[in-house]
Amino acid sequence: MSKPLIVITGASSGIGAAIARHFSAAGHPLLLLARRLEQIEALQLPNSLCRQVDVCDPTAFSQAIEEAEQAYGPVDGLINNAGCMLLGQLDEQSPAEWQQMFDVNVMGVLNGIRAVLPAMKARRGGTIINVSSIAGRKTFPNHAAYCGTKFAVHAMGENLREEVADSDVRVVTIAPGAVETELLSHTSSEQIINDYQAWKQSMGGAIAADDVAAATLFAYSQPQNVCIRELVIAPTRQQ
Ligand code: NDP
């Protein structure tokens, strides 16, 4: 039997690209979204539609989903993975950086949910997976605004899970610890980047994006009546 459609945001690098490869290998058709279209196309995954969508644009998000559903049938899984982390001390950081993180990490997740939820509720099935962070459960130095966005992702997911449980729609929060990706490179302070790298080294390095992707596929692959509400995955030595 053919597998259902999965939508993955932020599929152009890191965890999102790894999730795309794992779900493709499991036989799913995919809608891959990111701003860097050439990077999602370069994955060259079979049965995949690649669209340049900024998750902050709800219209473009919904249009891409409509287009993919015409090709592959209803969305069964939405993986809200797109995110940005701009570390900084609150008295030094620009409000533009706070805004960008809240727009992408919080509004982007809500935009995705809004684009798929009515149809999932109507057909009584589907899975929404939000990639949050351990920084959505505890705080870290220079993470205040980022933690604010990720605590929000945890809270929104848990609230939504309660709201849609009766409709048999699952809501899963994935909370990775340190993962080796491009994420840190967008922080402007060299000092903060160096401190973060030293912290990673002190625990023997970060885990791989593939590790998070395998855990995400595991959570999705449970029977529809089994919901892994939260999955925390981190380097063994991370505190
Ligand atoms: P990357 O920087 O490698 O990937 C981030 C992805 O998000 C890119 O594909 C990027 O695509 C996309 N993205 C950013 N802004 C937008 C936007 N406005 N619209 C659409 N897509 C966007 O980092 P990771 O793979 O590490 O991050 C993936 C998720 O994992 C994030 O939510 C992050 O917070 C979370 N996470 C990461 C951890 C880590 O240690 N790496 C730890 C815990 C959580 P493009 O630029 O092409 O638009």
For ligand 1, atom 36, the nearest C-alpha belongs to 133
- DSSP 8-state symbol, 124: T
In contact, 132 and 121? CB cutoff 8 Å: no
Q: Point out the ligand 1 atom lying closest to the alpha carbon of residue 11.
A: 9
How would you classify residue 200: left for phi > 0, otherwise alpha for psi between -120 and 50, otherwise beta? alpha
Q: Point out the ligand 1 atom lying closest to the alpha carbon of residue 82.
A: 7
Q: Is 64 in the pocket of ligand 1 (CB under 6 A)?
A: no
Q: What is the CATH number of domain 5-232?
A: 3.40.50.720
Domain boundaries, the chain: 5-232
Q: What angle do CA 49, 160, 21 make, to 5 degrees?
A: 30
Q: How many CB atoms lie under 10 A from the CB of residue 134?
A: 18
Closest-CA residue to 79 (of 152, 163, 11): 11
Which tokens hold the place of 82?
Answer: 């797109």
**ipTM of model:** 0.99
Q: At what angle do helices 209-220 and 14-25 cross, to 10 degrees?
A: 50
CA of 79 to the centre of ligand 1 (A): 12
Q: Which residues have a catalytic role annotated?
A: 146
Helix (H), strand (E) at residue 233: strand 230-233
The residues, ordered by sequence, that sit 6+ positions from 134 with a Cβ below 8 Å of its Cβ are 175, 176, 177, 232, 234, 238
Q: Is 36 in the pocket of ligand 1 (CB under 6 A)?
A: yes
CA of 123 to the centre of ligand 1 (A): 30
For ligand 1, atom 41, the nearest C-alpha belongs to 179
Q: Point out the ligand 1 atom lying closest to the alpha carbon of residue 12.
A: 9
CA of 34 to the centre of ligand 1 (A): 9
Q: Is 104 in the pocket of ligand 1 (CB under 6 A)?
A: yes
- Pocket residue to mutate for ligand 1, from 81, 129, 132, 232, most atoms within 8 A of Cβ: 81
For ligand 1, atom 33, the nearest C-alpha belongs to 83
- pLDDT digits (tens), the chain, 239 positions: 699 999 999 999 999 999 999 999 999 999 999 999 999 999 999 999 999 999 999 999 999 999 999 999 999 999 999 999 999 999 999 999 999 999 999 999 999 999 999 999 999 999 999 999 999 999 999 999 999 999 999 999 999 999 999 999 999 999 999 999 999 999 999 999 999 999 999 999 999 999 999 999 999 999 999 999 999 999 999 98
Q: Is 34 in the pocket of ligand 1 (CB under 6 A)?
A: yes
CA of 19 to the centre of ligand 1 (A): 12
**CA-CA distance, 153 to 83, in Å (whole number)?**
11
Closest-CA residue to 9 (of 42, 50, 38, 43): 50
